[in-house]
Structure 1
Amino acid sequence: MRIGIFTHPLATNYGGLLQAYALQQILIRDGHDVITINCNNRVLYTSFIRQFLGWLSRLKKRYINKKNISPCFSPQPTIEQNIILSRNTDLFINNINTTYCFYDYKELLKIDKEYNFEAYVVGSDQVWLPSFFPWSFLNFVTRDNVKRIAYAASFGHATWQYDDEQTKKASQLAKKFDAISVREDSGVTLCKDYLKVKALHVLDPTMLLNPKDYLSVINVKKVSKMIFAYVLDKSVLKQKIVKTIADKLQLNVYTCMPEEEFINGVTKDISKCIFPAVDDWINGINNAEFVVTDSFHGTVFAILFNKPFVVTGNEHRGMARFESLLRMFGLEDRLTTSLEKALELVNTPIDYVKVNQIIEEKRRESLQFLSILKK
């Protein structure tokens, strides 16, 4: 079957790239012809001024028109800047079959006509955030006899984020899906209560593959023992947790992050903001003696590679996904915002025999869900 995958833009997000790769690989192994839709909607604006004007427009929609739109101003890189920032991570995209890259979701109407997919799979990651609506509910597909599947779709939060108008439209579109699965257990309830559809709780697609699958597509490097600290929001507490654990274990810290954070309109030397390659990120996980992270996929790969870890939490990016993931494997205690508890966890082993058994069981259930594409 010819399948199109709708997912997050393929950019500099390691987890986003790896989940896109994993889902496509699983479907290809099942005998399907699979292409991932490559919309880089994060670089729509060509100048800082246009981004600022766009932000003012969003403020008007949120506070005057009462739309459920983020009021945050987070300047994105221009197309030219993004090419520089992602020049290393872009190398991994060569492992993913994609459509041509475009910069406006309105192009999906053209994509649907050109590629004539027999089925669409929406997922994974936080594709059901309001910012991706209504495209992530396949509103652009008007042809008959097209299968619609959601695999491990995430709302990003345990509470409903859509306004009344969006909720009504989302429910109408969701009812056209042949099957829906979600990444968090809270998503099952949200689908039932607001979309009025049934949903199955499944594994993140990255967990459908095993470590050997990832190591087989990178340049594997062995390095000296270290702590892999993949921290997206560097608070004082999180930095202190990393340093204290490193001192306790007498290990160096590896971060796999740009030397400096890119801030559009402020950054002077963009070469210091380039993201390391996906190979470096996977090698960081593979070689780690211990992992400290506030990233969902940082947590996923720590579990997948059977590493001892601490999750420092990330309320700004949504806690429901961390709680659901850890609860699935009985690892809720690995999530903490306490330095004392983090240090305690360093000496608390994880029963990976039990965890791996759960992974295998959940894999079978998740792959069974995807078998609907063969019917």
Structure 2
Amino acid sequence: MRIGIFTQPLKDNYGGILQNLALQRVLRRMGHYPVTIDYDIWRPPLLGRIRLGVQNLFRKSKLSGRRFDIERFVCAQINMTSRVSTDRQLKHCMKTNHFDVVLTGSDQVWRRAYNPRLDWSFLSFANKLPRIAYAASIGIDYWDFTEEETCRCAELLKNFIAVSVREASAVELCRKYFGRNDVKVVLDPTMLLDASDYPSINGAATDRPYVFTYILDWDYCKGRIVESLTKELGLPEYSSEYNSFGKKLEKRLSIEGWLAGISNANLVICDSFHGTAFSILNHRPFIVLCNSERGNTRMQWLLELFGLQDRMVQDVSEVDSLAPIDWDSIDTILNRERIKSINFLNTALKSV
């Protein structure tokens, strides 16, 4: 079947891109033809667009760095439609792509704060096509939809033949506010593949042992934890976003470089869901720093699933009591959850 996938705009988000890559690969292994709907609603004002255009003419060398790396990776690894940003364009996209089914997920497609068009995330544009939600994430464990949004999305969700979410708290939210009692919890698509399935550069990020940090939202407490741990271990910090001093890297890593940074690290410190997921996939010792701004619920559920709740810390003193991770036990849980998640997808698609 030809499957249209609706997820968050990929842009230059490591986890967002990799979860979409993983879902496409899993669907292709099942014998389907997945295509991601490439959309981005936000557009700067006219003067802003002109300014950006002029800047781009004189900054090709800079833009050819990370942005080129990301675009190259996405073009090579992910099958996408042409870009859409309006209802008219989306309607044309649906008409010309001849999808047999449309799927929403994964990532925080149902996080209200991240979606100016919630109705799109609930596949309002799918007309009479079968609809599936795979590992859709609300991201928080409380309700912030308006009454009007709740009614609209609940009505749209009635058209779904199968619904799954990425964290357990979303099951109850869907039951209470959408009236769906059949919602399942499944793995994020990134965890349906093995670490070896992902493209990566050869070799370690550096020639010596290091601590890899992926801090999306820096604050003093996080910086203090990173600084304390690197000093205690006697290892340098290799960062992919903000370092321990709150400085954001001018030249960030390619996706392959980010994957290699995690897979070869002696320790990973992150405040990211996908940083956590790839640490688990690669059997890397890791520590998760709380990130309430982006939503701790997602990471807490993932850690609870694997019995690793103590890996989320708020102070450096909590690190000393951490026991080594039993990776055999982790793999047992991972394999069990993979079977459940892939069975959900197979069953949903066979019902189309």
> Is TM more than 0.5 here?
yes
Deviations 1:193-228 (A, max 9, x none): 0111121000000000001101xx232222321111
How far has the Cα of 1:330 moved from its partner? Answer: 0.7
Deviations 1:72-108 (A, max 9, x none): xxxxx95776993622222220200111123346522
C-alpha contact 1:152 1:182 (8 A) present in aligned 2 = yes
Residues 1-375 of structure 1 aligned to structure 2 (within 5 Å): 1-42=1-42, 44-46=43-45, 84=63, 86-94=67-75, 95-104=77-86, 107-130=89-112, 131=115, 132-142=117-127, 144=128, 146-197=129-180, 198-214=182-198, 217-222=199-204, 223=206, 224-257=208-241, 273-345=250-322, 348-371=323-346, 372-375=348-351
CA-atom RMSD in angstroms: 2.3
CA distance, structure 2, for counterparts of residue 78 and residue 209 of structure 1: 38
Partner SS state of residue 240, structure 1 = helix
Give the alignment's TM-score, normalised by structure 2: 0.89
C-alpha contact 2:91 2:125 (8 A) present in aligned 1 = yes
* CA distance 1:36–1:178, shift in 2 (3 Å): same
CA distance, structure 2, for counterparts of residue 350 and residue 97 of structure 1: 36
CA distance, structure 1, for counterparts of residue 83 and residue 300 of structure 2: 34
Give the alignment's TM-score, normalised by structure 1: 0.84
Instruction: Show structure 1 runs of 4+ deviating over 4 A.
Output: 46-50, 77-83, 258-262
CA distance, structure 2, for counterparts of residue 274 and residue 102 of structure 1: 29
CA distance, structure 2, for counterparts of residue 134 and residue 108 of structure 1: 13
CA distance, structure 2, for counterparts of residue 227 and residue 41 of structure 1: 37
How far has the Cα of 1:368 moved from its partner? Answer: 0.2
Letter in 2 for 1:303: I
How far has the Cα of 1:9 moved from its partner? Answer: 0.7
Deviations 1:225-269 (A, max 9, x none): 11111011111111111111111111111112389988xxxxxxx
Deviations 1:308-367 (A, max 9, x none): 11101100111110111111111111111112113443xx20111111100000000000
C-alpha contact 1:105 1:135 (8 A) present in aligned 2 = no
CA distance, structure 1, for counterparts of residue 296 and residue 303 of structure 2: 11
* CA distance 1:49–1:89, shift in 2 (3 Å): closer
CA distance, structure 2, for counterparts of residue 349 and residue 47 of structure 1: 55
CA distance, structure 1, for counterparts of residue 320 and residue 226 of structure 2: 10
C-alpha contact 1:129 1:155 (8 A) present in aligned 2 = yes
Deviations 1:143-183 (A, max 9, x none): x3x22100000011111120000000100000100000000
C-alpha contact 1:19 1:124 (8 A) present in aligned 2 = yes
How far has the Cα of 1:47 moved from its partner? Answer: 5.8
Letter in 1 for 2:214: Y
Letter in 2 for 1:359: L
How far has the Cα of 1:46 moved from its partner? Answer: 4.3
Deviations 1:260-293 (A, max 9, x none): 988xxxxxxxxx7443210110000111110100
CA distance, structure 1, for counterparts of residue 286 and residue 17 of structure 2: 22
* CA distance 1:4–1:78, shift in 2 (3 Å): farther
Letter in 2 for 1:29: R
